[in-house]
Amino acid sequence: MDKLILENVYKNYGEVEAVKDLSFSVKDREFLSIVGPSGCGKSSTLRMVAGLEVITAGNIFLDGEKINSIRARDRDIALAFESYALYPHLTTYKNLAFPLQTRRMSRDRMREKVQSILSLLHLEEYRDMKPGELSGGQQQRISLGRALIRDASAYLLDEPLSHLDAQERVDLRVQLQRIQKLNELTFILVTHDQLEALAMSDRILVMNEGRLQQIGTPEELYDDPVNLFVADFIGEPPMNFARGTLVKTDQGGLAVQCEERSFSIPRHLMLKKDLSAYLNGKVVLGVRPEYIHLSRKNDTGAIQGRIYSYEDLGEIGYLLVVCDGERFLIEVESGVSYRMHEEVFFRFDEERVCIFAEASGKRML
Amino acid sequence: MTREEQTDTSNGEDLLVLRNVHKNYGSVEALKGIDLVAKKGECLVILGPSGAGKTTTLKVIAGLESVRHGEIYFKKRLLNNLEPRERNVAMVFETYALFPHVTVYENLASSLRALKMDEKELEERVRNIATMLGIYPFLSRRPGFLSGGQRQRVALGRALVKPVDLYLMDEPIAHLDAKLRYQMIGEFKHLQETLKISLIYVTHDWREAMSLGNHIIVLNRGQVEQYGTKDEVFRRPANTFVAQIIGDPPMNLLRGAISSREGRSMFKAGNIILELKERLDRGNVILGIRASKIHLATSTGNNRVSAEVYSSGRHGMNTVVSMKLGDEIFKTEFRGREQFTIGQRITVQLDLSGACIFDENRQLIRVLGEKDG
């Protein structure tokens, strides 16, 4: 069942179109993350769902009911925003209990709920302190707790982990996912951090310049990006790109001709899709660091390069290889020693090569 | 410059030595006895969380802060009372600005003009460093017309163009976005190895430390937790702090006790019993095991342990899993895209080769043998 549906939603701020023709749905009990660079429209989208922004055009449905003109506080939605908006004169405990007081809950039940949130978010020791005495990360956890303590139809979280230090953030990712799954809640989380989204979500929606780029599971976005933007935005270390022209080779195959060398496109990939329409067009070849493998000189498809730098991270290593002006980062095993400028051979995992049209960014292969 | 200062030491020799350096800010002890050695032609990384004293250490070396007691030797010469400009070190801080109104060339050249270098030599240095950094084509542009990464390289060039004996860098790429950081680390590494410059590099990021450091010094609350080669710091962490500051996910720790039976040693933590290859003295210990040594169990093999999935998600083509193992939450990554649900029981195999045994005070006792049957 769909919990939330956005249908051709637009948001204009004066002349500026912040969100353009956005349609997607969130399933009941789903954890959906919206990611994109700053200014992509992700927070505006969340604010429209919350009712904090009026939508310029389109429809929003929650639990099957159109909520376009329902006021924010009458929508059955819990919110946690990046700015904490805590009551400065109330203690952590009272800030957390506040959303429950209007709901005619017994004192014991309330105490129990607050206590469980305090322990879940590691806030017990700050129970009786006021926001002014706490760090940004601690305040952010209270703000998150205040959203989670409520019973709501959907939970909207805007960069809820942004002010935490690295260790806390990793811990809270785990906690957030557990809260959502164990209580069967619907979460919509906005973040600029694609690693965070990949680590927690059932599905991810990628936005850029106000438009939806792709919506899918973490593995769909990682392995099958629909365009150059998604391919580049998702994944760290990032996908390798080589820009060139799509040409026919002497052997009748296809290749991407870069400035100083060409990379042939595996034949069986060419069978998947007819690329003749793109011939002599500008294209971008993309391969992720994990999908490039070191090989021997005589292996089919072996490409020669020279080592530019090598990093050994203890459990994994990265080789940066230069190959006639193009550069590729290759994931390798740790514990091998490489010399700078040493000649190496590598090949692409044929199933994993992406080709994009440069102008539109659209994935062709 | 005196004759003595010009005599060159060869690569690998001690260039800078700190002995028992203390620094106070009022009553706050920022550095509580720092010892370190920076070798010529190498990169020494100072790694630690915020408040560890990393930047203070760098400032003390540069002469921007005085020391309370302790000695700083540079090429065997006591440096304590030398003015910053007499120290022949170049320093780059995390935030450093380019001049927006002049070209890239002028941005690089201006840091040499102060040295009264002759114009021809100056031009050669600027062009060399620009080539090395891949910004040669942009020398006549102004910074505003460059991408973020290109600007960053110009900023780096401004520091590296100066002919000094030791470069000091404080989180030089921390404010770049993650993707640019990967590029810059590769550039940095290439540059450092090509030019064989001597460098002290401050960071809170273990990846940067492992990528760039020949030696790493781990600081925490103004004290040295460990100083060693990057390999030593990774494979033989002196204590659990060092073990956990390096790696993502960090090293998993399990409290338990070692006992012996029929000449064999076992590690026991609640229901978890692990066989050790070597004989160890009995007692309470902490076992440390890295994520890469935790595998989904096959039907054979020893040291199989039952665990409960606590949460799971994706990391690139890997699956990140945290699991409840005894009383601890272990974090690991498996290659591939298996689906796990919260609460699911799985059996994992712990490969104890390379595992660390720490005592109750969290200090390393030993590293277990490389091969585990």
In this prediction the pTM is 0.89
- A116 CA to chain B: closest CA distance, Å? 17
In the predicted structure, residue B373 carries a pLDDT above the cut 60 = no
Residue B86 pLDDT exceeds 90: no
Least confident of A76-80, A349-353, B148-152, B223-227: B148-152
Q: Do B212 and B338 share a domain, yes or no?
A: no
- Does residue B215 share a domain with residue B91? yes
Q: Same structural domain for residues B107 and B221? A: yes
- Among the ranges given (A253-267, B77-91, B184-198, B201-215), the one the predictor scored with the smallest mean pLDDT: B77-91
**Predicted confidence band at B6 (pLDDT cuts at 50, 70, 90)?**
very low
The whole domain housing B357 covers 249-367
Claim to verify: residue B206 and residue B345 sit in the same structural domain:
no
- Is B4 a domain residue? no
Q: Do both B305 and B188 map to the same domain?
A: no
pLDDT band for position B10 (50/70/90)? Answer: low
ipTM: 0.88
Chain B residues with CB-CB distance to A311 below 8 A: 185-186, 189, 210-212
Chains A–B, number of C-beta pairs less than 8 Å apart: 94
- Residue B273, C-beta contacts closer than 8 angstroms, at least 6 positions apart: B266, B267
pLDDT in tens, B195-209: 899 999 999 999 999
Strand B318-325 relative to strand B223-229, pairing? unpaired
Tell which of B243, B260, B278 closes a domain.
B243
B135 is a domain residue: yes
pLDDT of A93 higher than 90: yes
Containing A2, the helix (H) or strand (E) segment is strand A2-13
Q: Which residues make beta-bridge pairs with A134?
A: none
Same domain, B230 and B267: no
Q: Structural domains in chain A?
A: 2-233 (3.40.50.300), 242-357 (2.40.50.140)
Looking at B218, B243, B268, the residue that finishes a domain is B243
Which CA distances in Å does A345 have to A243, A321, A342, A348?
A: 20, 9, 10, 11
* Interchain proximity B316–A174, CB inside 8 Å: no
d(C-alpha A86, C-alpha A139), whole Å: 8
Higher pLDDT, A104 or B77: B77
Listed in sequence order, the DSSP H helices in chain A are 42-50, 92-101, 107-120, 136-148, 166-182, 194-200, 218-223, 228-233, 267-272
Both tokens assigned to A239: 């996908």
Task: Work out the average pLDDT over A283-310.
Answer: 93
Question: How many other CB atoms are found less than 10 A from the CB of residue B49?
Answer: 16
Q: Is residue B190 part of a domain?
A: yes
Q: Domain for residue B1, yes or no?
A: no
Q: Which of B193, B331, B337 sits opposite A219 (nearest CB)?
A: B337
Instruction: Kindly state whether residue B335 falls inside one of the protein's structural domains.
Output: yes
Split at pLDDT 50, 70, 90, the class of B3 is: very low
Q: Do B182 and A219 touch (CB under 8 A)?
A: no
- B235/B255 same-domain check: no
Q: Is residue B50 part of a domain?
A: yes
Does residue A126 register a pLDDT over 90?
yes
- The enclosing domain of B253 has a CATH number of 2.40.50.140
**More confident of the two residues B160 and B325:** B325
| Residues of B engaging A, defined by a Cβ cutoff of 8 Å | 49-50, 178-179, 182, 185-187, 189-190, 193-194, 207, 210-212, 230, 234-235, 246-247, 249, 290-292, 310-317, 320, 322, 329, 331, 337, 341-342
Closest alpha carbon within chain B to A217: B314
What pLDDT is attached to residue B92?
63
B66: domain CATH number?
Answer: 3.40.50.300
B2 domain residue, yes or no:
no
Read off the pLDDT of residues B167-198 as tens digits, 9 standing for 90 and up: 998 888 877 777 778 888 888 888 888 889 99
The confidence band for A149, taking pLDDT boundaries of 50, 70 and 90, is very high
List CB contacts of B256: < 8 A, sequence separation 6 or more.
B267, B268, B269, B270, B272, B284, B285, B286, B287
Among A198, A232, A314, select the one facing B246 at the smallest CB separation: A314
The domain tally of chain B equals 2
Q: Report the gap between the CA of B24 and the closest CA in chain A (Å).
A: 25
- By Cβ distance, the residue of A174, A177, A237 closest to B182 is A237
- Contact yes or no for B179 and A181 at CB 8 A: no
Query: Do residues B217 and B231 both lie within one domain?
Result: yes
Name the residue among A198, A222, A223 with its Cβ closest to that of B313. Answer: A198
**B303 or B114, higher pLDDT:** B303
Please state, in angstroms and rounded to a whole number, the distance separating the CA atoms of residues B134 and B156.
12
Let me know the angle formed at the C-alpha of B285 by B283 and B288, rounded to the nearest 5 degrees.
150
Round to whole Å and give the CA distance between B267 and B282.
Answer: 9
Could you tell me if B279 and B179 lie in one domain? Answer: no
Task: Output the pLDDT for position B372.
Answer: 42
| Range scoring the smallest mean pLDDT among A77-86, A110-119, A151-160, B18-27 | A77-86
pLDDT of amino acid B2:
39
- Please list every residue in chain B whose beta carbon sits closer than 8 Å to the beta carbon of residue A238: 179, 182
Same domain, B176 and B87: yes
CB contact under 8 A, B189 and A309: yes
Chain B contact set for A241 (CB, 8 A): none
- Inter-chain residue contact A235 with B311, CB threshold 8 Å: no
Please state whether B221 falls in left (phi above 0), alpha (psi between -120 and 50) or beta. Answer: left
From the list B81, B57, B70, B82, the residue with the least C-alpha distance to B19 is B70
For residues A56-73, average pLDDT: 96
Q: Do residue A238 and residue B320 have CB atoms under 8 angstroms apart?
A: no
Q: What mean pLDDT, rounded, does chain A reach?
A: 93
Same structural domain for residues B183 and B313? no
Reply yes or no on whether the pLDDT at B282 is more than 80.
no
B292 and B264 share one domain: yes
**In a domain? residue B6:** no
pLDDT category of residue B252 using cuts at 50, 70 and 90: very high
